[in-house]
Amino acid sequence: MNKWKILILGAFLVGVSPSAWALTADEIMQRVNDREDGDNIVMEMQMVLINKNNEQRVRRMQQYRQDKGEDSQSVIFFEKPADVRNTGFLTYDYDDESKDDDQWMYLPALRKTKRIAASDKSGSFMGSDFNYSDLTSYNLSDYNYKLLKENDKVDGSDAWVIYSEPKNDEVKKETGYAKSVIWVRKDNYVVVRAKNWVHKSPDIKFFEFKDLQQIEGVWFPSEIKAQRRFGKEVVHQTILRQQNIRLNQNLEDSLFSQRRLEQGL
């Protein structure tokens, strides 16, 4: 698989020890990509939206994810509050780099399922600081990587610092990011921090993956924090908490269908 995820509402790399010799930026990112990310996953999620006046909105969701060969499928159902209940988000994440990943959003108020076009994937997911593109994989071959720093610290752990830039404007437009700096933990190849320059905007987005926990050999962040800044001002931020994570659950294929998406939980 030649895809990797800065942000996934799921799992990170299974813990392994880095090799003794120095690695290039491309080799590090390949190891981030070559992960065992778990299968048939069920989890509860809490999304907290915080504006610049520190006013908060809280949403509760359920996520389900399964592998289909080298591909993966995931679905998120919103439970609370009432104004977003039964909103659903379905993703088909393809291993084949020549295929665009598919995403659909069901809005119960409109009783309509909308396919997220590639040109819309840089847009905000449900008013949060996550783009639709953040919720699917990135193709390794779409980026140039450079090792900026061999040794840095993130929450007391050693990390590499890697510069990432899309090879063409099409990728910048689709993801919504012009370039990124990524922090990768050395002991387990987990992306623990990212700084993304928003495409054609002075804003910068910061991602932090906090309180890692290992479940059945797979690393999960208990909390993901996304913060959008204009200069030093925090324009908006989102905190996503992942709870009650279970692997190897019995999930029906029909759960990952547009028909099921429209039925809600």
Q: How confident is the model at residue 181 (pLDDT cuts 50, 70, 90)?
A: very high
Say which residue the tokens 């999930």 belong to. 251
Q: What percent of the chain has pLDDT over 90?
A: 83
What confidence tens digit (pLDDT) does each residue in 66-91 have?
998 889 999 999 999 999 999 999 99
Is the CB of residue 124 less than 8 Å from the CB of residue 47?
no
pTM for this entry: 0.90
What confidence tens digit (pLDDT) does each residue in 163-176 have?
999 999 999 999 99
Superfamily of domain 3-261: Lipoprotein localisation LolA/LolB/LppX (2.50.20.10)
Is the CB of residue 204 less than 8 Å from the CB of residue 197?
yes
**Least-confidence region, from 2-16, 156-170, 208-222:** 2-16
Residue 235's pLDDT is what?
97
The first and second tokens of residue 265, run together, are 């939980």
Residue 158's pLDDT is what?
96
- Domain boundaries, given as residue ranges, for the chain: 3-261
Is the CB of residue 9 less than 8 Å from the CB of residue 74?
yes
